[in-house]
C-alpha cells in the first residue's frame, strides 16, 4: 500500500510540472504574440506617418512652388541700399551696402567658375533634388543633440533659398523651411537656372553680391574673364567671406583657394597636372585706393543722410562729398608718421566755408574704428586759451597791453607756468605766444570764467564746460572737430563756420535728391577782436610754442598740452585751411615727451605743406581798428579838468557821472529825464553780466588795475582809484582842509586844491 501511494505521488508531481511548463509556454507565446502585434502596429503607424509626412511635404513644396516668384522676378530682386561715395573731384572712394555687378547668364559664366563652386560647395549638385538627405540628416541630429552645426551640409539649392527667402538663424524651424524652399526651387527651375541665380546672388564679402561684383572688387575686371586661380579664390569666399577675403588676409585666401583646387581635382574633373601648375600667390589683386582711413569720414558723414533725405529712401544713391583724396592720404601719413609709439592720433581739416577736406579718426581703421576726431572727448590744454584771450580782447585788451606774469592764487587754485618761472611785466602778445598760465588765469578771473565759457559756446564747443578757475587751462573735455571749427571761425574773421561733409546726393538715374546750401553765417566777435586774436595766434607759431608748425608761409595756431603729457593738441590755419591735430592714448595714460608743440605740431606742418601747396599765400589781417569807446582819451578828461567834468567807471563796468548814481545804459534816462543814446553793445562798460559777477581790475583806460589777479583776503576786488576819487565821482564833497589824492604809477600822492 505504501509503494502504491509513492507511485501515485510521482505521477501527480509530473503532471504538475508539465502543467507549469505548459503555462509558461502559454505565457511566452502570449508575450511574443503581443510583441509581434505591437511591432506590426508600429510599422503600420510609421508607414502611415511617412505617408502623411510625404503628403505634407509634397503639399508644402507644391504650395511653395506655386507662390514662388518667377525666374525674371528673382533676377530683379535686390535687398538693401547701395551707397556709392564720391570725393569732391567725383572719383569713387568707397561703396557701402550691397554691391551688385552685372547679371551674368548661365552661358556667360566661365565653366571654371561653375566647376569651382560646385566642387567645393555641392559636388552632387546635378544628382540630387535640392536636398542631400545624408548630410541634412546629420545636421538635424547635430542640431538636436549637439551644439555646433555640421559644416557644409547645405546644398547650393538650400543656400540659394536661405539667401533669397530666409535668414541665417541656426534653428530647426529655419532648416525645415529651407529644405521645403530648396525642393520648390528644384520643382520650378532647371539646374542651370538655379546655378545662375546662385552665382549672381550669393554673398562674397565686402558688400559684394554675385561673382561679377566680387570679381570687380578683388580683381578689377568682369567675372567673364575669371582665371582658374581667381575662380578658386572667389569660390573659397562663400564659407566665410570675412575670414577668407583677399583684401583682409591674403594668406588665408590663398590657403582656402588651394583647398578649392584640391576639391576640383577630386570632384570637378580638373587634371592633377594642371592643378600642380596653379599658382594662386601670383594673382594680382585690385589696389585698395579707398584707404581705410576714409571710413572715419564716411562713418561721420553718412549718418547725416537720415536727416538730409526724405524718409523712406531705399533706392541706390550716389553721395558726393567734400573729401579730398590727396589730402586724406596726406593727413593719414602725417598722423601715422609723427604719432608716438603705442599712441593714437586724429586730424580734422576744414576749408574756409566749413567743408571737411580730410578727417582721420585713428592710426588704423581696421584695428580700431573708434572715431577720435568726432567722438572722443579729451582735454585741449592751452589751446583752450583761445577763448580766454578772445574774451579779454572783447573786454578791451589789445595785444600790446602790459600784464604781469606773477604767482597767483584764485579761489584756492595756484597755477604755475610749465617752466616754473615768472618773468614779471609782459605784453599780452608774448603771454599768449609763450602760453603763460598765470596770465591766462588772471585774465579769466578778470573777465569772468562764465564769460570765457560763453565765448567757447559761441564758437561752437558743444561739450560741457566748467567755470572753475582751472578751466582757462583747458581742463574741460572737448571734441577735436569742435576745436577745429572754433579756430576756423577765427580764420574767417570772426564769422561762424559750420562743418559739413556732403555736397549733393543723386539716385541711380542722376536725379538730385539733395544739394548743400551754405549755412547762414553770423558774426561771433567784432573785426578788431578777430584781428587781435589772429595777431596772437600768428605770434605763437612765429616765435612761441608752435614754432614746429611753420610751413614757409603765414600760419596762426595754438598748442595744447595737458598735465603729465596725456594729450597733445595743435590747431591752426593758413591760406583758408584750418587743421586740428590731437595725439594721446585711449586709456589716458602718460606719453613721454608728448606736447602740443612737438608731434602734433609736426603732423600739422607735414599735412599743411601738402594741403596749401596749390593755394596762394595769404597774409593775415591783424590791423586793429579799435572802436571809439576803446580809444585812449586825454588824461585831463578823467582827472576832472575843465570844470570838474568827468566820468567814473565803477567795478561793474558802469559809467557814473558826478552827482548821479544811476547807470547810463541802453534805453535808460538820466536824472533830468533825458534819454541817453545807447552805447555800443560790445562795450563791456555797458554790460552787466550777473553770471560772471564783479570783474576785478578793470579800470579807466581799460588797463588792469590789479595785473596779478589776486583778490584781497576779504575776497573783494581791489580798488581802481583812491577814496578821494570815489567820493568825487559819486558827488560826495571832501572838506577843503583835506588834500585830495591822485595815483602816480603805483603810489598815491597828495594833491593840493586851489
Query: Which one, of 425, 465, 463, lies nearest residue 444 by Cα?
Result: 465
Which H helix or E strand runs over 93?
strand 92-96
CA separation, residue 38 to residues 34, 41, 42, 729 (Å):
6, 5, 6, 121
Across 398-422, average pLDDT = 92
Q: Convert 579-605 into a string of H (helix), E (strand) and C (coil).
A: EEEEEECCCCCCCCCCCCCCHHHHHHH
pLDDT at 171: 65
The CA distance from 30 to 149, in Å, is 47
**736: pLDDT strictly greater than 70:** no
Percent of the chain with pLDDT over 90: 44
Q: Quick check: 459 and 428 in contact, CB under 8 A?
A: no
pLDDT tens profile 72-85: 788 776 666 678 89
Q: What is the DSSP string of 645-666?
A: ---EE-TTS-EE-TT--S---T
Interacting residues of 171 by C-beta distance below 8 A, sequence separation 6+: 143
**246: pLDDT strictly greater than 50:** yes
pLDDT at 670: 41
Name the band, by pLDDT with cuts 50, 70 and 90, for residue 132. confident
Spacing of C-alpha 474 from chain mean position: 22
Across 704-729, average pLDDT = 43
- Asked which of 95-104, 657-666, 683-692 is least confident by mean pLDDT, the reply is 683-692
**750: pLDDT strictly greater than 60:** no
Query: Which one, of 452, 488, 451, lies nearest residue 473 by Cα?
Result: 452
**683: pLDDT strictly greater than 90:** no
pLDDT at 376: 95
- Asked which of 92-101, 434-443, 464-473 is least confident by mean pLDDT, the reply is 92-101
- Asked which of 19-23, 306-310, 715-719 is least confident by mean pLDDT, the reply is 715-719
- Asked which of 92-96, 107-111, 731-735 is least confident by mean pLDDT, the reply is 731-735
Interacting residues of 247 by C-beta distance below 8 A, sequence separation 6+: 206, 218, 285, 288
pLDDT at 181: 84
Tell me if residue 245 falls in helix, strand or coil.
coil
Cα angle for residues 665, 671, 674 (degrees, 5° grid) = 70
Q: Tell me how crowded residue 234 is: count the other CB atoms within 10 A of its CB.
A: 30
Residue with grid cell 533659398, as numbered in its chain? 161
Cell numbers for 373:
576726431
Which H helix or E strand runs over 383?
none
pLDDT at 283: 79
More confident residue, 636 or 444: 444
Phi and psi angles of residue 447, each rounded to the nearest 5 degrees, phi first: -85, -15
Name the band, by pLDDT with cuts 50, 70 and 90, for residue 598. very high
Cα distance from N-terminal residue to C-terminal residue, the chain: 181
The CA distance from 437 to 418, in Å, is 8
pLDDT tens profile 549-572: 999 999 999 999 998 899 999 999
Across 437-460, average pLDDT = 96
The CA distance from 539 to 532, in Å, is 11
Spacing of C-alpha 431 from chain mean position: 35
More confident residue, 294 or 284: 294
**227: pLDDT strictly greater than 50:** yes
pLDDT at 59: 77
pLDDT at 638: 40
pLDDT at 274: 87
CA separation, residue 479 to residues 342, 351, 361, 379, 482 (Å):
21, 18, 11, 9, 5
Residue with grid cell 554673398, as numbered in its chain? 203
Name the band, by pLDDT with cuts 50, 70 and 90, for residue 453. very high
Beta strands in 621-704 (DSSP E): 648-649, 655-656
Name the band, by pLDDT with cuts 50, 70 and 90, for residue 754. very low
pLDDT at 13: 58
pLDDT at 285: 74
CA dihedral 437, 442, 443, 447 (to 10 degrees): 140
**635: pLDDT strictly greater than 60:** no
Residue with grid cell 561771433, as numbered in its chain? 524
Interacting residues of 658 by C-beta distance below 8 A, sequence separation 6+: 644, 645, 646, 728, 729, 731
pLDDT at 142: 62
Residue 700 gets which letter from DSSP? G
pLDDT at 141: 66
Q: Quick check: 588 and 564 in contact, CB under 8 A?
A: no
Q: Quick check: 349 and 358 in contact, CB under 8 A?
A: yes
pLDDT at 406: 94
pLDDT at 689: 38
More confident residue, 577 or 100: 577
Name the band, by pLDDT with cuts 50, 70 and 90, for residue 270. confident
Query: Which one, of 460, 465, 467, lies nearest residue 486 by Cα?
Result: 460
Q: Quick check: 577 and 484 in contact, CB under 8 A?
A: no
pLDDT at 147: 55
Across 31-43, average pLDDT = 70
- pTM across the whole model: 0.63
More confident residue, 663 or 21: 21
pLDDT tens profile 175-191: 677 778 878 888 888 98
Percent of the chain with pLDDT over 70: 71
Spacing of C-alpha 721 from chain mean position: 54
Query: What's the mean per-residue pLDDT of the chain?
Result: 79
pLDDT tens profile 685-708: 333 333 333 333 333 233 443 433
Name the band, by pLDDT with cuts 50, 70 and 90, for residue 29. low
Across 612-626, average pLDDT = 88
pLDDT tens profile 459-480: 999 999 999 999 999 999 999 9
Cell numbers for 239:
564659407
CA separation, residue 79 to residues 68, 201, 205, 238, 508 (Å):
17, 10, 15, 18, 16
Cell numbers for 390:
578772445
pLDDT tens profile 109-127: 999 999 999 988 888 888 8
Amino acid at each position: 500500500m505504501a509503494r502504491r501511494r509513492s507511485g501515485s505521488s510521482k505521477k501527480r508531481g509530473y503532471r504538475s510540472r508539465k502543467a507549469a511548463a505548459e503555462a509558461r509556454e502559454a505565457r511566452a507565446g502570449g508575450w511574443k504574440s503581443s510583441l509581434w502585434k505591437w511591432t506590426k502596429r508600429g510599422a503600420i503607424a510609421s508607414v502611415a506617418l511617412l505617408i502623411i509626412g510625404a503628403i505634407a511635404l509634397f503639399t508644402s513644396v507644391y504650395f511653395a512652388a506655386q507662390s514662388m516668384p518667377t525666374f525674371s522676378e528673382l533676377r530683379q530682386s535686390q535687398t538693401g541700399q547701395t551707397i556709392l561715395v564720391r570725393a569732391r573731384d567725383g572719383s569713387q572712394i568707397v561703396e557701402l551696402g550691397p554691391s551688385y555687378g552685372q547679371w551674368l547668364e548661365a552661358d556667360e559664366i566661365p565653366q571654371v567658375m561653375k566647376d569651382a563652386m560646385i566642387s567645393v560647395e555641392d559636388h552632387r549638385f546635378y544628382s540630387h533634388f535640392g536636398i542631400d538627405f545624408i548630410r541634412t540628416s546629420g545636421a538635424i541630429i547635430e542640431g538636436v543633440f549637439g551644439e555646433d552645426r555640421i559644416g557644409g551640409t547645405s546644398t547650393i539649392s538650400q543656400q540659394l533659398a536661405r539667401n533669397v527667402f530666409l535668414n541665417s538663424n541656426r534653428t530647426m524651424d529655419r532648416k525645415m523651411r529651407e529644405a521645403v524652399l530648396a525642393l520648390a526651387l528644384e520643382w520650378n527651375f532647371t539646374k542651370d537656372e538655379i546655378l545662375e541665380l546662385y552665382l549672381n546672388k550669393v554673398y562674397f564679402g565686402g558688400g559684394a553680391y554675385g561673382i561679377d561684383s566680387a570679381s570687380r572688387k578683388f580683381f578689377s575686371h568682369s567675372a567673364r574673364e575669371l582665371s582658374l586661380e581667381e575662380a578658386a579664390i572667389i569660390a573659397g569666399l562663400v564659407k566665410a567671406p570675412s575670414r577668407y577675403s583677399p583684401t583682409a588676409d591674403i594668406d588665408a585666401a590663398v590657403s582656402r583657394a588651394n583647398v578649392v583646387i584640391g576639391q576640383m581635382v577630386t570632384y570637378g574633373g580638373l587634371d592633377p597636372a594642371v592643378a600642380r601648375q596653379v599658382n594662386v600667390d601670383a594673382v594680382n589683386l585690385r589696389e585698395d585706393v579707398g584707404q581705410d582711413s576714409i571710413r572715419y569720414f564716411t562713418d561721420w558723414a553718412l549718418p547725416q543722410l537720415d536727416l538730409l533725405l526724405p524718409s523712406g529712401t531705399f533706392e541706390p544713391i550716389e553721395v558726393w562729398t567734400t573729401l579730398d583724396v590727396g589730402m586724406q592720404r596726406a593727413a593719414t601719413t602725417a598722423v601715422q608718421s609723427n604719432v608716438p609709439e603705442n599712441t593714437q592720433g586724429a586730424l580734422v581739416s576744414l576749408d574756409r566755408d566749413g567743408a571737411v577736406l580730410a578727417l582721420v579718426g585713428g592710426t588704423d581703421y581696421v584695428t580700431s574704428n573708434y572715431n577720435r576726431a568726432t567722438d572722443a572727448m579729451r582735454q585741449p590744454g592751452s589751446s583752450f586759451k583761445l577763448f580766454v584771450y578772445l574774451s579779454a580782447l572783447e573786454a578791451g585788451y589789445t595785444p600790446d597791453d602790459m600784464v604781469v606774469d606773477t604767482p597767483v592764487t584764485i579761489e584756492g587754485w595756484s597755477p604755475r607756468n610749465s617752466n616754473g618761472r615768472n618773468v614779471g611785466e609782459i605784453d599780452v602778445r608774448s603771454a599768449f605766444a609763450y602760453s603763460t598760465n598765470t596770465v591766462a588765469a588772471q585774465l579769466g578771473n578778470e573777465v569772468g570764467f562764465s564769460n570765457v565759457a560763453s565765448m567757447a559756446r559761441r564758437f561752437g564747443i558743444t561739450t560741457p564746460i566748467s567755470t572753475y578757475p582751472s578751466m582757462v587751462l583747458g581742463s574741460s573735455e572737448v571734441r577735436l572737430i569742435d576745436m577745429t571749427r572754433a579756430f576756423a571761425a577765427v580764420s574767417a574773421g570772426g564769422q561762424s563756420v559750420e562743418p559739413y561733409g556732403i555736397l549733393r546726393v543723386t539716385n541711380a538715374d542722376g536725379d538730385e535728391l539733395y544739394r548743400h546750401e551754405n549755412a547762414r553765417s553770423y558774426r561771433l566777435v567784432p573785426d578788431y577782436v578777430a584781428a587781435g586774436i589772429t595777431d596772437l595766434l600768428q605770434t605763437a607759431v612765429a616765435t612761441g610754442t608752435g614754432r614746429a608748425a611753420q610751413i614757409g608761409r603765414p600760419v596762426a595756431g595754438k598748442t595744447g598740452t595737458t598735465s603729465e603729457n596725456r594729450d597733445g593738441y595743435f590747431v591752426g590755419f593758413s591760406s583758408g585751411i584750418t587743421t586740428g591735430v590731437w595725439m594721446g592714448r585711449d586709456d589716458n595714460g602718460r606719453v613721454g615727451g608728448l606736447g602740443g608743440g612737438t608731434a602734433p605740431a609736426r603732423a600739422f606742418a607735414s599735412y599743411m605743406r601738402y594741403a596749401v601747396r596749390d593755394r596762394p599765400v595769404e597774409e593775415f589781417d591783424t590791423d586793429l581798428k579799435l572802436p571809439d569807446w576803446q580809444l585812449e582819451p586825454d588824461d585831463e578828461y578823467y582827472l576832472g579838468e575843465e570844470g570838474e567834468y568827468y566820468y567814473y567807471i565803477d567795478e561793474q563796468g558802469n559809467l557814473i557821472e558826478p552827482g548821479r548814481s544811476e547807470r547810463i545804459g541802453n534805453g535808460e534816462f538820466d536824472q533830468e529825464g533825458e534819454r541817453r543814446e545807447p552805447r555800443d553793445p560790445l562795450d563791456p562798460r555797458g554790460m552787466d553780466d550777473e553770471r560772471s559777477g564783479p570783474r576785478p581790475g578793470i579800470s579807466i583806460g581799460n588797463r588792469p588795475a590789479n595785473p596779478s589777479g589776486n583778490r584781497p583776503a576779504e575776497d573783494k576786488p581791489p580798488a581802481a582809484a583812491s577814496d578821494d576819487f570815489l567820493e568825487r565821482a559819486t558827488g560826495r564833497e571832501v572838506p577843503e582842509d583835506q588834500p585830495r589824492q591822485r595815483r602816480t604809477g603805483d603810489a598815491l600822492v597828495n594833491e593840493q586844491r586851489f
